[in-house]
Amino acid sequence: MAAFDPEKFEDKYANYFAELQRAYKNAFETMRESYDSDLVHAIDQRVLNESEPFYEDGTFRVELPDDPAKRLEGSGVPVDEETLSAALDDYTAAIEDELYRMLGVDREE
């Protein structure tokens, strides 16, 4: 893999698509170890499908779409607000961790 280029990440789907897919998949597997698999699957399919990873100022972050709880309505997965918030925080952190790892980027302290 070539060295990570922050400017190329602006067109991430053209330049880093395989790495993005792998980072999301690895985070999914990590989350299944800590949370109910139905909840993880619902978040993956109904919330993260419209999330957007960014790299700014030496940091990866994942931006979620508006109102994730509403997106889970009708999924058949009951979840309280506190559990959902914790799961989303953990899931986005897992994706960000995987992005650093997959793209070979050191975290800036």
Sequence spans of domains, the chain: 6-103
pTM, entire model = 0.92
Name the pairing type of β-strands 59-63 and 52-56.
Answer: antiparallel
What is the model's pLDDT at position 108? 73
What is the model's pLDDT at position 13? 94
Tens of pLDDT along 36-79? 999 999 999 999 999 999 999 899 999 999 999 999 998 899 99
The contacts of residue 97 (CB under 8 Å, 6+ apart) are 27
Question: Is it the case that residue 80 has pLDDT exceeding 80?
Answer: yes
